[in-house]
Amino acid sequence: MWSCANPYTTSPGFQLSMNITEMCHTRCISSALKTRFYSLNPVWTVERPLAAGKMTQLLPSSLVLALVFSATDVILCTENNGCVARSFGYDSVVCECNSTYCDSVGPVSLPPLGQYSSYLSSRAGSRMEAGQGQIQVSSSGAGLRLTILPYQKYQRIKGFGGAMTDAAAINILSLSAGAQEQLLRQYFSKDGISYSVVRVPMASCDFSTRLYTYADTPGDYDLKNFTLAQEDMNMKIPLLLRAQAMSPYPLSLLGSAWSAPAWMKTNGALTGKGSLKGQPGGKEHKTWAQYYIRFLEQYAKYNLTFWALTTGNEPSAGRMTNYSFQALGFTPEEQRDWVAVDLGPALQSSSHPHTHILILDDSRLLLPHWAKVVLSDVHAARYIHGVAVHFYMDDLVPAETSLGATHQLYPEYYLFGTEACAGWGPLDRGVKLGSWDRAEKYAHDIIEDLNHYVVGWTDWNLALDPTGGPNWVKNFVDSPVIVDAKRDVFYKQPSFYGMAHFSKFLWEGSQRVGVSTSGKTQLEFSAFVRPDGSVVLIVLNRSSSTIQFEVWDQGVGYIPCTAPAHSLLTVAWNTH
């Protein structure tokens, strides 16, 4: 396996060290610099930006070169797509990408029956580090065994993804064309982490630069002046189309509205404590339902159709006095009646009757009560497909008494994670470049959710700037991708790779199966059988110790495994 250094544009003051071995007549081309390398066995290192003459002095005589580059731009390339690691003083590193280079997982295909593949990320710096080994016919005698129980069958996966907010779109489009392409490919292509779900805010949210809806003309009950915003036309729609073109399968789009137009609301404002005027069946409630239909129709003109809509982002927020950004309050009773009388019938009679309706779109703290109120009503329940939950404050309520209890009461309605971010709390605010701790929190929450019947998990902003914005109310948070437009680079956070361990491997239709342990362990894990019969096991080690264990799949044998301290491991194998 040969490798050559990363095709990475250095900038003054940035230290970059790379080794190049066994290039074996391989050509690495930077379209920006028209740089070509041909070699048999060179080994060299670049420690800093170099002038052309000094670069030549470092090159071995066996290397024949044709070089055209500036004194401060040195672009190299790699076969194995390794991370260009940068530390910003937190507990791990980010991987830096630019217009000509970004590390990537690449397409994943499993080895033949009798072997397994593994992918490791860790606080120590591993990023989807690939491994492969032989499945053993007998036990290694490891102290801990995880046994796959394929006959214990649970929920099927829908998918994983993030949100195309105004802020995400602004940040992506702040990059050069080449860097934009790299970023989108990282999320949506078969070489990237295979996101399949995109949440799309319907008009503005806090991660916008201004407050707006699609129907801001007072008294426009017929929505004659309904129109998509420039943010949709110039940013979100073009980016969604580009993402869809990269994806090997149709993206599942999920629409969520933050607020109804101010003139429809009791408080006459997009922010603060306010709900729809009147009662379900009244003109405001019916107009708000038609607003959803009009949104679907307008996006459909661009060949973007929505898998699902939520009944509105965080309805509990709109019941809080002086709430600082866009919200629309609903009690569970009000949401139940609006769906039963207005939204459900409007959607069913529209040109998009197969679009799913997800209720709640708020913290699992509100479960199972919210679900009981809405889903116990047959008139509302017949229009509803699932319950949407947010990640925030998950540590305040056990998954079993919220998610588990909801599933036991209403197993025919799926649970779906629709929003999560790090850096939202007052004691741990904003962007932390290289925080492994935040990646662990993501992975812990995803595994816990999956083990309690959740069928998918959606991150919040796909990309933010180094401050955690833009956000008109300065509600700055973190993101798996941070864009530095001044340098035309973006950083992939540890949480990006945390998401990858799930999104890359858990295809739509994968079914969770049982796992038993031979004893107590600090490991957290979840196992799935994919539609092709292959098995995926995801293991999180949040402890400070390396843990040796083996996996037993009765149909294929024993897999010896090691989970380093503070690591996330995905193991996958074929069963036939």
Q: How is residue 237 written in tokens?
A: 């729609």
DSSP state of 473: T
Burial 512-540 (b: 16+ CB within 10 A, else e): bbebeeeeebebbbbbbbbeeebbbbbbb
Distance CA 284, CA 330 (A): 14
Closest CA to 370 of 326, 309, 415, 426: 415
Catalytic (active site) residue 96? no
* Half-sphere exposure of residue 446: CA atoms within 13 angstroms, side-chain side: 32
Burial class (CB in 10 A: 0-12, 13-18, 19+), 544: exposed
Task: Give the 3-state secondary structure of 262-299.
Answer: HHHECCCCCECCCCECCCCCCHHHHHHHHHHHHHHHHH
* Catalytic residue, candidates 96, 419, 524, 550: 419
Residue 134 to residues 113, 115, 137, 560, 567: CA-CA distances in angstroms? 9, 4, 9, 9, 22
Task: Write phi, then psi, for 405 (nearest 5 degrees).
Answer: -65, -40
Contact 110, 559 (CB under 8 A): no
32: β partners? none
* Catalytic residue, candidates 96, 284, 314, 448: 314
483: β partners? 490
Distance CA 157, CA 360 (A): 20
Query: In 10 A of CB 564, how many CB atoms?
Result: 17
Which residue, chain included where needed, has tokens 């390339």? 77
Catalytic (active site) residue 419? yes
Distance CA 352, CA 42 (A): 60
514: β partners? 149
Query: In 10 A of CB 432, how many CB atoms?
Result: 24
Length of the chain: 576
Classify the C-alpha dihedral 141-144-149-155 as positive or negative: negative
What DSSP line would sit under 147-189, residue for residue?
EEEEEEEEEEP-EEEEE--HHHHHHHHTS-HHHHHHHHHHHHS
Distance CA 86, CA 345 (A): 53
Q: Are strands 524-529 and 454-461 parallel, antiparallel or unpaired?
A: unpaired
Residues with catalytic roles: 314, 419
